[in-house]
Amino acid sequence: MRSFVVVNNPKDWNFKIDNVEVVSAKSYLTESSFAEIKSARIFNLCRSYRYQATGYYVSLLAEARGHRAFPNVSTIQDIKSQTIVRIISDDLDDLIQRSLSKIKSEEFVLSIYFGQNMAAQYEKLASQLYNLFQAPLIRATFYFNKKWFLQSITPIPVNEVPEKHRPFLERCAESYFSKKRIYTAKISRAKYDMAILINPNEEEPPSDKKAIKSFIDAGEEVGIRCELITKEDFSRIPEFDALFIRETTAVNHHTYRFSRRAFAEGLVVIDDPHSIIQCTNKVYLAEALIKAKVPAPKTIIVHKDNREILENALGFPIVLKQPDSSFSQGVIKVENKEQLKAEANRLLEISDLIIAQEFTYSDFDWRIGILDKQPLFACKYFMAKDHWQIYNWNKKNNEQYGKYKTIPIYEVPDKVIKTALKAANQIGDGLYGVDLKQIGSEVFIIEVNDNPSIEHGVEDAVMKEHLYLTIMKSFKDRLESIRQVKELHL
Protein backbone atom coordinates (compact mmCIF):
# COMPACT_ATOMS: atom_id res chain seq x y z
CA MET A 1 0.00 0.00 0.00
CA ARG A 2 1.48 3.36 -1.07
CA SER A 3 1.79 6.23 1.43
CA PHE A 4 1.32 9.89 0.46
CA VAL A 5 1.83 13.07 2.44
CA VAL A 6 -0.59 15.63 1.01
CA VAL A 7 0.18 19.33 1.58
CA ASN A 8 -1.04 22.60 0.12
CA ASN A 9 2.48 23.35 -1.08
CA PRO A 10 5.12 20.60 -1.38
CA LYS A 11 7.66 23.13 -0.07
CA ASP A 12 5.86 22.93 3.29
CA TRP A 13 7.21 19.38 3.70
CA ASN A 14 10.94 19.53 3.02
CA PHE A 15 11.72 16.10 4.53
CA LYS A 16 12.64 13.02 2.54
CA ILE A 17 11.17 9.88 4.16
CA ASP A 18 11.68 6.45 2.64
CA ASN A 19 8.57 4.92 1.04
CA VAL A 20 6.59 8.17 1.43
CA GLU A 21 5.55 10.30 -1.56
CA VAL A 22 4.80 14.03 -1.17
CA VAL A 23 2.09 15.51 -3.38
CA SER A 24 0.18 18.76 -3.49
CA ALA A 25 -3.46 18.84 -2.46
CA LYS A 26 -4.37 20.20 -5.89
CA SER A 27 -2.73 17.24 -7.60
CA TYR A 28 -4.39 14.71 -5.32
CA LEU A 29 -7.83 16.25 -5.82
CA THR A 30 -7.68 16.86 -9.58
CA GLU A 31 -5.34 14.35 -11.22
CA SER A 32 -7.13 11.18 -12.33
CA SER A 33 -4.08 9.00 -11.65
CA PHE A 34 -4.65 9.30 -7.90
CA ALA A 35 -8.30 8.31 -8.21
CA GLU A 36 -7.23 5.15 -10.03
CA ILE A 37 -4.94 3.96 -7.22
CA LYS A 38 -6.73 1.06 -5.54
CA SER A 39 -5.06 1.18 -2.15
CA ALA A 40 -3.25 4.06 -0.45
CA ARG A 41 -2.66 5.83 2.86
CA ILE A 42 -3.18 9.58 2.74
CA PHE A 43 -1.55 11.69 5.45
CA ASN A 44 -3.40 14.97 5.14
CA LEU A 45 -1.17 17.83 6.30
CA CYS A 46 -3.12 20.63 4.65
CA ARG A 47 -3.25 24.03 6.30
CA SER A 48 -6.95 23.85 7.17
CA TYR A 49 -9.57 21.14 7.73
CA ARG A 50 -12.38 23.70 7.74
CA TYR A 51 -15.63 22.41 6.19
CA GLN A 52 -15.36 22.51 2.39
CA ALA A 53 -11.77 23.78 2.52
CA THR A 54 -9.10 21.99 0.50
CA GLY A 55 -7.92 19.94 3.49
CA TYR A 56 -11.47 18.78 4.19
CA TYR A 57 -11.90 17.62 0.59
CA VAL A 58 -8.59 15.71 0.63
CA SER A 59 -9.87 13.48 3.44
CA LEU A 60 -13.38 13.30 1.99
CA LEU A 61 -12.23 12.21 -1.48
CA ALA A 62 -9.67 9.83 0.02
CA GLU A 63 -12.49 7.95 1.72
CA ALA A 64 -14.59 8.00 -1.46
CA ARG A 65 -11.66 6.47 -3.35
CA GLY A 66 -11.22 3.71 -0.81
CA HIS A 67 -7.97 5.23 0.50
CA ARG A 68 -7.19 5.47 4.22
CA ALA A 69 -7.07 9.12 5.29
CA PHE A 70 -5.34 10.53 8.38
CA PRO A 71 -7.27 12.33 9.70
CA ASN A 72 -10.47 10.88 8.27
CA VAL A 73 -13.62 12.97 8.09
CA SER A 74 -14.95 11.55 11.37
CA THR A 75 -11.80 12.68 13.18
CA ILE A 76 -12.05 16.12 11.58
CA GLN A 77 -15.58 16.43 12.92
CA ASP A 78 -14.48 15.20 16.37
CA ILE A 79 -11.73 17.83 16.47
CA LYS A 80 -14.35 20.53 15.90
CA SER A 81 -16.81 19.18 18.49
CA GLN A 82 -16.66 20.82 21.90
CA THR A 83 -18.84 18.03 23.27
CA ILE A 84 -16.27 15.41 22.23
CA VAL A 85 -13.44 17.54 23.66
CA ARG A 86 -15.24 17.84 27.02
CA ILE A 87 -15.83 14.07 27.17
CA ILE A 88 -12.14 13.42 26.41
CA SER A 89 -11.13 15.94 29.06
CA ASP A 90 -13.17 14.05 31.64
CA ASP A 91 -11.90 10.64 30.51
CA LEU A 92 -8.26 11.70 30.70
CA ASP A 93 -8.65 13.83 33.82
CA ASP A 94 -6.19 11.93 36.03
CA LEU A 95 -3.52 11.90 33.33
CA ILE A 96 -4.05 15.58 32.54
CA GLN A 97 -3.72 16.61 36.20
CA ARG A 98 -0.58 14.49 36.72
CA SER A 99 1.07 15.66 33.53
CA LEU A 100 0.42 19.39 34.03
CA SER A 101 0.75 19.57 37.82
CA LYS A 102 4.01 21.59 37.75
CA ILE A 103 2.83 24.25 35.30
CA LYS A 104 2.20 27.63 36.93
CA SER A 105 0.49 29.52 34.10
CA GLU A 106 -3.26 29.49 33.40
CA GLU A 107 -2.88 28.19 29.86
CA PHE A 108 -0.72 25.47 28.31
CA VAL A 109 -0.34 24.41 24.69
CA LEU A 110 0.86 20.92 23.79
CA SER A 111 2.12 20.33 20.24
CA ILE A 112 1.79 16.71 19.13
CA TYR A 113 3.75 15.48 16.11
CA PHE A 114 2.78 11.97 15.00
CA GLY A 115 1.81 11.18 18.59
CA GLN A 116 4.92 12.66 20.21
CA ASN A 117 5.92 15.79 22.09
CA MET A 118 9.38 17.27 22.52
CA ALA A 119 9.23 17.02 26.34
CA ALA A 120 9.43 13.51 27.80
CA GLN A 121 7.10 14.39 30.72
CA TYR A 122 4.23 14.95 28.29
CA GLU A 123 4.87 11.84 26.19
CA LYS A 124 2.04 9.74 27.63
CA LEU A 125 -0.51 12.57 27.42
CA ALA A 126 0.51 13.30 23.84
CA SER A 127 0.19 9.63 22.92
CA GLN A 128 -3.26 9.30 24.49
CA LEU A 129 -4.57 12.40 22.72
CA TYR A 130 -3.18 11.19 19.42
CA ASN A 131 -4.91 7.83 19.94
CA LEU A 132 -8.21 9.69 20.24
CA PHE A 133 -7.67 12.40 17.60
CA GLN A 134 -5.66 10.73 14.86
CA ALA A 135 -4.34 13.64 12.87
CA PRO A 136 -0.60 13.79 12.13
CA LEU A 137 -0.05 17.24 13.64
CA ILE A 138 -2.35 18.55 16.39
CA ARG A 139 -2.28 21.20 19.08
CA ALA A 140 -3.99 20.63 22.46
CA THR A 141 -4.82 23.74 24.46
CA PHE A 142 -5.47 23.47 28.22
CA TYR A 143 -6.70 26.08 30.69
CA PHE A 144 -6.55 26.12 34.48
CA ASN A 145 -9.58 26.86 36.68
CA LYS A 146 -8.98 25.13 40.03
CA LYS A 147 -7.77 22.22 37.91
CA TRP A 148 -6.67 21.68 34.30
CA PHE A 149 -9.20 21.25 31.48
CA LEU A 150 -8.72 20.41 27.83
CA GLN A 151 -10.08 23.44 25.99
CA SER A 152 -9.55 22.56 22.35
CA ILE A 153 -7.86 20.32 19.80
CA THR A 154 -6.78 21.97 16.56
CA PRO A 155 -4.68 20.82 13.61
CA ILE A 156 -1.24 22.37 13.17
CA PRO A 157 -0.63 23.52 9.60
CA VAL A 158 2.74 22.08 8.62
CA ASN A 159 3.97 25.48 7.47
CA GLU A 160 3.31 26.83 10.98
CA VAL A 161 5.53 24.34 12.80
CA PRO A 162 8.21 26.50 14.51
CA GLU A 163 11.61 26.28 12.88
CA LYS A 164 13.19 25.01 16.10
CA HIS A 165 10.64 22.15 16.19
CA ARG A 166 11.26 20.97 12.63
CA PRO A 167 14.24 18.67 13.38
CA PHE A 168 12.08 16.97 16.03
CA LEU A 169 9.15 16.73 13.59
CA GLU A 170 11.45 15.07 11.04
CA ARG A 171 12.59 12.51 13.62
CA CYS A 172 8.96 11.82 14.60
CA ALA A 173 7.98 11.32 10.97
CA GLU A 174 10.94 9.03 10.30
CA SER A 175 10.13 7.01 13.42
CA TYR A 176 6.45 6.80 12.52
CA PHE A 177 6.93 5.67 8.95
CA SER A 178 9.78 3.30 9.80
CA LYS A 179 7.30 1.19 11.77
CA LYS A 180 5.89 -0.05 8.49
CA ARG A 181 7.49 -3.09 6.92
CA ILE A 182 10.04 -2.52 4.20
CA TYR A 183 8.50 -4.06 1.14
CA THR A 184 10.80 -6.64 -0.42
CA ALA A 185 10.45 -8.01 -3.92
CA LYS A 186 9.07 -11.22 -2.47
CA ILE A 187 5.94 -9.48 -1.22
CA SER A 188 5.73 -6.55 -3.60
CA ARG A 189 2.45 -7.86 -5.01
CA ALA A 190 0.67 -7.71 -1.63
CA LYS A 191 -2.67 -5.96 -2.02
CA TYR A 192 -3.63 -5.74 1.64
CA ASP A 193 -2.11 -4.94 5.02
CA MET A 194 -2.89 -6.94 8.15
CA ALA A 195 -2.08 -6.19 11.76
CA ILE A 196 -1.55 -9.24 13.98
CA LEU A 197 -2.13 -8.25 17.60
CA ILE A 198 0.14 -10.11 20.03
CA ASN A 199 1.36 -9.76 23.59
CA PRO A 200 5.06 -10.69 23.71
CA ASN A 201 4.82 -11.16 27.48
CA GLU A 202 1.76 -13.42 27.54
CA GLU A 203 2.62 -16.71 29.21
CA GLU A 204 0.03 -18.79 27.32
CA PRO A 205 -0.73 -16.98 24.04
CA PRO A 206 -3.13 -18.57 21.56
CA SER A 207 -0.31 -18.89 18.99
CA ASP A 208 3.39 -19.45 19.64
CA LYS A 209 6.19 -17.72 17.71
CA LYS A 210 6.51 -20.45 15.09
CA ALA A 211 2.77 -20.35 14.40
CA ILE A 212 2.86 -16.55 14.11
CA LYS A 213 5.66 -16.84 11.56
CA SER A 214 3.58 -19.37 9.62
CA PHE A 215 0.67 -16.91 9.58
CA ILE A 216 2.96 -14.17 8.26
CA ASP A 217 4.39 -16.43 5.54
CA ALA A 218 0.90 -17.61 4.55
CA GLY A 219 -0.31 -14.02 4.38
CA GLU A 220 2.50 -13.04 2.04
CA GLU A 221 1.72 -16.02 -0.16
CA VAL A 222 -1.91 -14.97 -0.66
CA GLY A 223 -1.15 -11.25 -1.03
CA ILE A 224 -1.51 -9.95 2.54
CA ARG A 225 1.38 -8.07 4.11
CA CYS A 226 1.41 -8.82 7.86
CA GLU A 227 2.83 -6.74 10.68
CA LEU A 228 2.95 -7.60 14.37
CA ILE A 229 1.48 -4.96 16.69
CA THR A 230 0.96 -4.71 20.45
CA LYS A 231 -1.42 -2.84 22.73
CA GLU A 232 0.72 0.28 22.29
CA ASP A 233 -0.30 0.51 18.63
CA PHE A 234 -3.98 1.35 19.07
CA SER A 235 -3.61 4.56 17.08
CA ARG A 236 -2.32 2.64 14.05
CA ILE A 237 -5.43 0.52 13.49
CA PRO A 238 -6.74 2.65 10.58
CA GLU A 239 -3.48 2.03 8.69
CA PHE A 240 -4.48 -1.59 8.06
CA ASP A 241 -7.08 -3.49 6.08
CA ALA A 242 -7.44 -6.37 8.54
CA LEU A 243 -6.83 -7.20 12.20
CA PHE A 244 -6.05 -10.70 13.42
CA ILE A 245 -6.05 -10.99 17.21
CA ARG A 246 -3.57 -13.56 18.49
CA GLU A 247 -3.73 -12.51 22.13
CA THR A 248 -6.17 -13.90 24.70
CA THR A 249 -9.35 -11.83 24.46
CA ALA A 250 -11.70 -10.40 27.07
CA VAL A 251 -14.41 -7.75 27.02
CA ASN A 252 -12.97 -5.50 29.73
CA HIS A 253 -9.60 -5.49 28.00
CA HIS A 254 -7.64 -3.75 25.25
CA THR A 255 -8.21 -6.70 22.88
CA TYR A 256 -11.90 -5.84 22.76
CA ARG A 257 -11.15 -2.14 22.25
CA PHE A 258 -8.85 -3.03 19.35
CA SER A 259 -11.51 -5.27 17.83
CA ARG A 260 -14.26 -2.68 18.27
CA ARG A 261 -12.16 0.13 16.79
CA ALA A 262 -11.06 -1.99 13.83
CA PHE A 263 -14.64 -3.08 13.16
CA ALA A 264 -15.83 0.54 13.26
CA GLU A 265 -13.06 1.53 10.83
CA GLY A 266 -14.25 -1.10 8.36
CA LEU A 267 -11.40 -3.57 8.77
CA VAL A 268 -11.88 -7.31 8.46
CA VAL A 269 -11.51 -8.49 12.07
CA ILE A 270 -10.96 -11.88 13.67
CA ASP A 271 -11.97 -11.98 16.49
CA ASP A 272 -14.79 -9.57 15.74
CA PRO A 273 -16.23 -7.66 18.73
CA HIS A 274 -19.58 -9.47 18.66
CA SER A 275 -17.87 -12.86 18.90
CA ILE A 276 -15.71 -11.64 21.79
CA ILE A 277 -18.75 -10.46 23.72
CA GLN A 278 -20.67 -13.67 23.12
CA CYS A 279 -17.91 -16.22 23.64
CA THR A 280 -16.06 -14.70 26.57
CA ASN A 281 -19.16 -14.57 28.75
CA LYS A 282 -20.32 -18.05 29.68
CA VAL A 283 -23.70 -16.78 30.89
CA TYR A 284 -24.53 -15.47 27.43
CA LEU A 285 -23.14 -18.59 25.80
CA ALA A 286 -25.13 -20.92 28.04
CA GLU A 287 -28.36 -19.07 27.35
CA ALA A 288 -27.75 -18.99 23.60
CA LEU A 289 -26.92 -22.69 23.40
CA ILE A 290 -29.90 -23.68 25.56
CA LYS A 291 -32.18 -21.64 23.29
CA ALA A 292 -30.69 -23.30 20.20
CA LYS A 293 -31.16 -26.72 21.81
CA VAL A 294 -27.50 -27.65 21.45
CA PRO A 295 -26.90 -30.65 23.76
CA ALA A 296 -24.87 -29.69 26.84
CA PRO A 297 -24.35 -30.91 30.41
CA LYS A 298 -27.28 -29.83 32.58
CA THR A 299 -26.69 -26.13 33.18
CA ILE A 300 -28.14 -23.58 35.59
CA ILE A 301 -27.52 -19.84 35.50
CA VAL A 302 -26.94 -19.02 39.15
CA HIS A 303 -27.77 -15.85 41.07
CA LYS A 304 -28.02 -15.06 44.76
CA ASP A 305 -31.65 -16.16 44.95
CA ASN A 306 -31.38 -19.63 43.39
CA ARG A 307 -28.05 -21.03 44.59
CA GLU A 308 -29.83 -23.20 47.15
CA ILE A 309 -31.33 -25.41 44.42
CA LEU A 310 -28.00 -26.54 42.96
CA GLU A 311 -27.43 -29.60 45.15
CA ASN A 312 -30.80 -31.18 44.36
CA ALA A 313 -30.84 -30.09 40.73
CA LEU A 314 -27.33 -31.18 39.76
CA GLY A 315 -25.96 -33.44 42.49
CA PHE A 316 -22.29 -33.53 43.46
CA PRO A 317 -19.75 -32.90 42.15
CA ILE A 318 -20.80 -29.60 40.56
CA VAL A 319 -18.74 -27.45 38.22
CA LEU A 320 -18.92 -23.68 38.87
CA LYS A 321 -17.75 -21.26 36.22
CA GLN A 322 -16.89 -17.60 36.41
CA PRO A 323 -18.51 -16.01 33.33
CA ASP A 324 -15.28 -14.66 31.82
CA SER A 325 -12.98 -17.56 32.66
CA SER A 326 -10.50 -18.92 30.10
CA PHE A 327 -7.95 -21.73 29.87
CA SER A 328 -9.73 -23.59 32.71
CA GLN A 329 -9.05 -20.71 35.11
CA GLY A 330 -12.10 -19.54 37.05
CA VAL A 331 -13.62 -23.05 36.70
CA ILE A 332 -14.01 -24.96 39.99
CA LYS A 333 -15.27 -28.42 40.85
CA VAL A 334 -17.01 -28.58 44.23
CA GLU A 335 -17.61 -31.88 46.04
CA ASN A 336 -19.92 -30.96 48.93
CA LYS A 337 -22.22 -28.35 50.48
CA GLU A 338 -19.44 -26.48 52.25
CA GLN A 339 -17.36 -26.09 49.12
CA LEU A 340 -20.41 -25.16 47.09
CA LYS A 341 -21.43 -22.42 49.50
CA ALA A 342 -17.94 -20.96 49.80
CA GLU A 343 -17.11 -20.97 46.08
CA ALA A 344 -20.55 -19.82 44.94
CA ASN A 345 -20.45 -16.93 47.40
CA ARG A 346 -16.95 -15.97 46.22
CA LEU A 347 -17.86 -16.01 42.53
CA LEU A 348 -21.12 -14.12 43.11
CA GLU A 349 -19.12 -11.33 44.70
CA ILE A 350 -17.35 -10.93 41.34
CA SER A 351 -20.36 -11.36 39.04
CA ASP A 352 -24.11 -11.18 39.68
CA LEU A 353 -24.56 -14.30 37.54
CA ILE A 354 -22.40 -17.44 37.29
CA ILE A 355 -22.73 -20.87 35.69
CA ALA A 356 -23.26 -24.22 37.40
CA GLN A 357 -23.10 -27.49 35.47
CA GLU A 358 -23.41 -31.14 36.29
CA PHE A 359 -20.02 -32.84 36.27
CA THR A 360 -19.31 -35.07 33.27
CA TYR A 361 -15.92 -36.76 33.14
CA SER A 362 -14.16 -37.90 29.99
CA ASP A 363 -10.56 -38.86 29.23
CA PHE A 364 -10.32 -36.07 26.67
CA ASP A 365 -12.15 -33.07 25.25
CA TRP A 366 -12.71 -32.62 21.55
CA ARG A 367 -11.64 -29.28 20.09
CA ILE A 368 -13.09 -28.62 16.66
CA GLY A 369 -11.72 -25.57 14.88
CA ILE A 370 -14.32 -23.86 12.70
CA LEU A 371 -13.87 -21.09 10.13
CA ASP A 372 -16.51 -19.65 7.80
CA LYS A 373 -19.01 -22.15 9.23
CA GLN A 374 -16.90 -25.09 8.07
CA PRO A 375 -14.76 -27.52 10.13
CA LEU A 376 -11.08 -26.60 9.95
CA PHE A 377 -9.15 -28.87 12.34
CA ALA A 378 -9.82 -31.38 15.11
CA CYS A 379 -7.84 -32.23 18.24
CA LYS A 380 -8.25 -34.44 21.25
CA TYR A 381 -7.01 -32.66 24.38
CA PHE A 382 -6.43 -35.21 27.13
CA MET A 383 -6.81 -34.41 30.82
CA ALA A 384 -3.73 -33.37 32.77
CA LYS A 385 -2.23 -36.15 34.88
CA ASP A 386 -4.37 -36.95 37.94
CA HIS A 387 -6.68 -34.02 37.14
CA TRP A 388 -10.17 -33.49 35.72
CA GLN A 389 -9.24 -30.69 33.31
CA ILE A 390 -6.82 -30.40 30.40
CA TYR A 391 -4.96 -27.68 32.35
CA ASN A 392 -3.82 -28.08 35.94
CA TRP A 393 -2.61 -24.69 37.08
CA ASN A 394 -1.45 -26.09 40.43
CA LYS A 395 1.37 -27.94 38.66
CA LYS A 396 4.44 -26.61 36.92
CA ASN A 397 6.00 -26.99 33.48
CA ASN A 398 4.90 -30.04 31.47
CA GLU A 399 2.72 -31.38 34.27
CA GLN A 400 0.31 -28.48 33.72
CA TYR A 401 -1.02 -29.94 30.48
CA GLY A 402 -2.45 -33.18 29.26
CA LYS A 403 -1.39 -34.79 25.99
CA TYR A 404 -3.01 -34.05 22.66
CA LYS A 405 -3.73 -35.79 19.40
CA THR A 406 -4.64 -34.06 16.16
CA ILE A 407 -7.19 -35.94 14.03
CA PRO A 408 -8.11 -35.54 10.34
CA ILE A 409 -11.59 -34.08 10.03
CA TYR A 410 -12.84 -37.11 8.10
CA GLU A 411 -12.00 -39.38 11.08
CA VAL A 412 -14.05 -37.35 13.58
CA PRO A 413 -17.50 -38.79 14.41
CA ASP A 414 -20.26 -37.01 12.45
CA LYS A 415 -22.14 -36.22 15.63
CA VAL A 416 -19.14 -34.33 17.05
CA ILE A 417 -18.79 -32.25 13.87
CA LYS A 418 -22.52 -31.52 13.61
CA THR A 419 -22.78 -30.47 17.25
CA ALA A 420 -19.71 -28.24 16.95
CA LEU A 421 -21.09 -26.55 13.84
CA LYS A 422 -24.50 -26.01 15.40
CA ALA A 423 -22.89 -24.35 18.42
CA ALA A 424 -20.47 -22.15 16.47
CA ASN A 425 -23.14 -21.08 14.01
CA GLN A 426 -25.02 -19.44 16.88
CA ILE A 427 -22.10 -17.01 17.20
CA GLY A 428 -21.11 -16.12 13.64
CA ASP A 429 -18.86 -17.04 10.74
CA GLY A 430 -15.47 -16.26 12.28
CA LEU A 431 -12.70 -18.48 13.63
CA TYR A 432 -13.84 -20.53 16.64
CA GLY A 433 -12.66 -23.43 18.74
CA VAL A 434 -15.55 -25.56 19.96
CA ASP A 435 -14.96 -27.79 23.00
CA LEU A 436 -17.09 -30.92 23.38
CA LYS A 437 -17.26 -34.07 25.47
CA GLN A 438 -18.15 -37.45 24.06
CA ILE A 439 -19.69 -39.85 26.58
CA GLY A 440 -20.48 -43.10 24.80
CA SER A 441 -22.71 -42.18 21.90
CA GLU A 442 -23.68 -38.81 23.43
CA VAL A 443 -21.93 -35.54 22.56
CA PHE A 444 -22.15 -32.44 24.78
CA ILE A 445 -21.04 -28.91 24.07
CA ILE A 446 -18.77 -27.38 26.72
CA GLU A 447 -18.01 -23.97 25.24
CA VAL A 448 -17.22 -21.99 22.11
CA ASN A 449 -13.95 -20.07 22.08
CA ASP A 450 -13.59 -16.97 19.91
CA ASN A 451 -9.78 -17.05 20.14
CA PRO A 452 -8.78 -20.70 19.69
CA SER A 453 -5.23 -21.92 20.19
CA ILE A 454 -3.33 -22.54 16.99
CA GLU A 455 0.18 -23.65 17.90
CA HIS A 456 2.99 -25.07 15.84
CA GLY A 457 2.97 -28.86 15.98
CA VAL A 458 -0.43 -29.11 17.68
CA GLU A 459 -3.50 -27.87 15.82
CA ASP A 460 -1.50 -27.79 12.56
CA ALA A 461 -0.18 -31.36 12.91
CA VAL A 462 -2.48 -32.70 10.17
CA MET A 463 -2.90 -29.77 7.80
CA LYS A 464 0.62 -28.34 8.25
CA GLU A 465 1.07 -25.01 6.41
CA HIS A 466 -2.27 -25.46 4.65
CA LEU A 467 -3.99 -24.56 7.95
CA TYR A 468 -2.40 -21.11 7.94
CA LEU A 469 -3.06 -20.64 4.24
CA THR A 470 -6.74 -21.50 4.73
CA ILE A 471 -7.13 -18.86 7.43
CA MET A 472 -5.29 -16.21 5.43
CA LYS A 473 -7.29 -17.10 2.31
CA SER A 474 -10.46 -16.47 4.34
CA PHE A 475 -9.16 -13.00 5.24
CA LYS A 476 -8.37 -12.29 1.59
CA ASP A 477 -11.81 -13.46 0.42
CA ARG A 478 -13.45 -11.14 2.94
CA LEU A 479 -11.24 -8.24 1.88
CA GLU A 480 -12.00 -8.87 -1.78
CA SER A 481 -15.74 -8.86 -1.04
CA ILE A 482 -15.45 -5.48 0.69
CA ARG A 483 -13.41 -4.06 -2.18
CA GLN A 484 -15.97 -5.25 -4.76
CA VAL A 485 -18.81 -3.60 -2.82
CA LYS A 486 -16.84 -0.33 -2.63
CA GLU A 487 -16.08 -0.40 -6.33
CA LEU A 488 -19.77 -0.87 -7.12
CA HIS A 489 -20.53 2.36 -5.27
CA LEU A 490 -17.75 4.42 -6.88
Examine the pLDDT at 26 and tell me if it is beyond 60.
Answer: yes
The pLDDT of residue 186 is 38
Examine the pLDDT at 327 and tell me if it is beyond 60.
Answer: no
Domain extent for 342: 298-359
pLDDT in tens, 62-95: 887 888 888 887 788 778 777 778 877 787 888 9
Asked, for residue 240, whether it belongs to a domain, the answer is yes
Asked, for residue 389, whether it belongs to a domain, the answer is no
pLDDT in tens, 161-218: 899 999 999 888 888 887 644 333 333 457 899 999 999 999 889 999 999 999 999 9
Residues 200 and 224 placed together within one structural domain of the fold: yes
- Are 248 and 202 in contact by the 8 Å Cβ rule? The answer is yes
* DSSP states along 13-55: -----TTEEEEEHHHHHH-HHHHT-SSEEEEE--S---TTSHH
Asked, for residue 28, whether it belongs to a domain, the answer is yes
pLDDT in tens, 287-314: 788 888 899 888 888 888 888 899 888 8
Residues 64 and 26 placed together within one structural domain of the fold: yes
The pLDDT of residue 3 is 87
C-alpha to C-alpha distance for 240 and 482, rounded to whole angstroms:
14
Residues 159 and 190 placed together within one structural domain of the fold: no
Residues 420-441, mean pLDDT to the nearest whole number: 93
- Are 332 and 343 in contact by the 8 Å Cβ rule? The answer is yes
Examine the pLDDT at 259 and tell me if it is beyond 70.
Answer: yes
The domain boundary residue, chosen from 306, 333, 359: 359
C-alpha to C-alpha distance for 446 and 444, rounded to whole angstroms:
6
Examine the pLDDT at 419 and tell me if it is beyond 80.
Answer: yes
- Are 236 and 228 in contact by the 8 Å Cβ rule? The answer is no
Residues 82 and 139 placed together within one structural domain of the fold: yes
Band (57; pLDDT cuts 50, 70, 90): confident
Maximum C-alpha span of the chain = 80
Asked, for residue 62, whether it belongs to a domain, the answer is yes
Residues 72 and 164 placed together within one structural domain of the fold: yes
The pLDDT of residue 233 is 85
Residues 23 and 93 placed together within one structural domain of the fold: yes
C-alpha to C-alpha distance for 433 and 430, rounded to whole angstroms:
10
Average pLDDT, the chain: 86
Residues 199 and 154 placed together within one structural domain of the fold: no
The pLDDT of residue 188 is 41
Residues 206 and 164 placed together within one structural domain of the fold: no
The pLDDT of residue 396 is 67
Residue type (1 letter), 82: Q
Residues 6 and 147 placed together within one structural domain of the fold: yes
User: Helices in 73-226 by DSSP H: which ranges?
Assistant: 73-80, 82-91, 93-99, 123-132, 166-178, 209-222
Bridge-based pairing state of the strands 364-371 and 431-439: antiparallel
Asked, for residue 445, whether it belongs to a domain, the answer is no
The domain boundary residue, chosen from 118, 146, 173: 173
Helices 273-280 and 282-291, axial angle in degrees (round to 10):
90
- CATH code of the domain containing 344: 3.30.1490.20
The domain boundary residue, chosen from 118, 142, 173: 173
Asked, for residue 446, whether it belongs to a domain, the answer is no
Residues 3-30, mean pLDDT to the nearest whole number: 87
Q: In this predicted model, which residue has the larger pLDDT, 387 or 432?
A: 432
C-alpha to C-alpha distance for 108 and 92, rounded to whole angstroms:
16
Q: List 243's β-bridge partners, or say none.
A: 195, 269
- CATH code of the domain containing 478: 3.40.50.2300
Residues 202 and 163 placed together within one structural domain of the fold: no
Examine the pLDDT at 30 and tell me if it is beyond 90.
Answer: no
Residues 100 and 125 placed together within one structural domain of the fold: yes
Asked, for residue 163, whether it belongs to a domain, the answer is yes
Asked, for residue 416, whether it belongs to a domain, the answer is no
Number of independent structural domains in the chain: 3
Examine the pLDDT at 114 and tell me if it is beyond 50.
Answer: yes
Residues 25 and 104 placed together within one structural domain of the fold: yes
Band (399; pLDDT cuts 50, 70, 90): low
